[in-house]
Amino acid sequence: MQEFSIQELQTKMETGELTSRQITEMYLGRIEAVDSSGPTVNAVMEINPDAVEVAAELDAERAAGNIRGPLHGIPVMLKDNIDTADKMMTTAGSLALDGHIAAQDSFVAQKLRQAGAVILAKANLSEWANFRSTRSVSGWSSRGGQTRNPYVLNRNPCGSSSGSAAAVAANLCAAAIGTETSGSIICPAQANSLAALKPTVGLVGRSGVIPISHTQDTAGPMARSVADLAVTLGALTGIDPRDPVTNESQGRALVDYCASLDPGGLQGARIGVARNFFGFHPGVDAIMEESLQAMKAHGAEIIDPVDLTLDELGPNMVEVLLYEFKADLNAYLQTTGPAMPARTLEEIIAYNSKHAAKIMPFFGQERMELAQEKGPLSDQAYLDALAACKKMARQDGIDKLIKEHNLDAIAAPSGGPAWLIDPVNGDHYGGGSSGVPAAAGYPNLTVPAGYVYGLPVGINFIGGAYQEAKLIRIAYAFEQASKVRRPPQFLESAFIE
């Protein structure tokens, strides 16, 4: 099946060449061919049984002259930690939540439906958004099994938005929504050669998303191009009555980011180079150098280096996440209904232990157990760690660099080439630069930059709070200048030519 951009699909619907129903059926056929049989990417957790019917209803609206916007009739996929009040479950990949049907749409699902998108399916993920174990295998969940990287099938798709990324890369949908606490949008996007955005915390409402941290969690778009990312992002913004942090986006959020799609957007842009994130792989470094030269050739001013080293950030961030995971997950679980077998973190831990053969065949639940030991959010240890994180990542980190060097963005490698899927030893991360913007709650956009032995590599553009439009402009211009992305070939293993 040919890859189509969102705009190309819209044009085909406008001209009558295709209907939303036909497009939806095409993607469902693609899922059957690529995800359920053949190479078996295993990105899809559950198909929406009403998807074709919803598409037909949207076709009727179009025929009556009612077009809701640029996502009208476009099939998208949601990560399986995002509530949908339909016939699909929301489980975070865990058998402990098997059977959970949300009583109310998440803000994200509500906004997508309002925009006319067809919610095609739920995507597999790293179980509990990769906050169960200290030695997990990204892309694996007890409910969904192991997602594979469509570029090289024995390689890991990264996580925790593993299925969302692999599904878009494998052309199983037009775009997908992932979630990130620290790297969970950026890492799988770069490992699957996608453009993706981790927005400012507060730009996209989090109600109805199974949480880790109210300080760092956010949903964000994942797509094959920056243009598709921009279209999808515009449908997600707005004030969420159940998420007070979104009040901060008033007057700062846009409903249309497409004005930033300027191929000359690098001209005059000041981009700092965070050299402290280089050096973990020579192939990645070479691609980064080529990317910096390309940006310079297209008018960017490269400020090299700028230092974003924050050695003490990690331990403080872990402390914050452990405290908030316990408090926030317990609050969410109370919305799941009394019939669920586990409705507190303590009960989830007990359920996992009781069903360890199915839920914990490869790795345990150390992070959950550490979180359960934490006290309330009034504990001084939590308050001190939270204050330290914000100061280091914001005032002494991103804000300081942007102000000192008058930067439009900070560039850094998104990560290393995808590692082998290894349930025995767990993940083998090769590097990355997502931690600081995650702790700051600031936007981070990755775009394909090249390939190392056929394995995708991305470049990050990090910005200040609510600077998504600026990052989209820079990333789009870089994407148009480099044009490096190529579709996956579903290779059985990486090879050296």
Please name the helix (run of DSSP H) or strand (run of DSSP E) that holds residue 304, with its range, or none: strand 301-306
Q: Which of 160, 182, 291, 433 is catalytic?
A: 160
Q: Which residue has the tokens 């586990």?
A: 342
Provide the pairing of β-strand 140-141 with 270-274.
unpaired
- Radius of gyration of the chain, Cα coordinates, nearest whole angstrom: 21
Please name the helix (run of DSSP H) or strand (run of DSSP E) that holds residue 21, with its range, or none: helix 20-30
Please name the helix (run of DSSP H) or strand (run of DSSP E) that holds residue 52, with its range, or none: helix 51-63
79 a catalytic residue: yes
Question: Following DSSP, what letter does each residue of 429-471 receive, concatenated?
Answer: ---B--HHHHHHT--EEEEEEEEETTEEEEEEEE-STT-HHHH
Q: Looking at the DSSP assignment, which residues form a beta bridge with residue 219? A: 179
Residue 324 one-letter amino acid: E
Q: Looking at the DSSP assignment, which residues form a beta bridge with residue 209? A: 82
Q: How many residues are there in the chain? A: 497
Q: In what order do the strands lie in the sheet with 195-198?
A: 44-47, 118-123, 75-79, 175-180, 218-223, 195-198, 444-452, 455-462, 409-413, 270-274, 301-306
Q: Is 13 left (phi over 0), alpha (psi -120 to 50) or beta?
A: alpha
184 a catalytic residue: yes
DSSP code of residue 303: E
Q: Which of 106, 136, 142, 184 is catalytic?
A: 184
Q: Looking at the DSSP assignment, which residues form a beta bridge with residue 460? A: 412, 446
Q: Which of 20, 79, 198, 434 is catalytic?
A: 79
Residue 113: closest CA among 61, 184, 64, 160:
61
Structure-token pair, residue 432:
């990355």
Provide the pairing of β-strand 444-452 with 175-180.
unpaired
Distances (CA, A) of 406 to 272, 277, 409, 438, 464: 9, 20, 9, 21, 11
Residue 437: closest CA among 404, 480, 466, 472:
466
What are the backbone dihedrals phi and psi of residue 302, each rounded to the nearest 5 degrees, phi first?
A: -95, 120
d(CA 411, CA 275): 9
What are the backbone dihedrals phi and psi of residue 122, each rounded to the nearest 5 degrees, phi first?
A: -100, 140
DSSP code of residue 256: -
Which residue numbers are catalytic?
Answer: 79, 160, 184
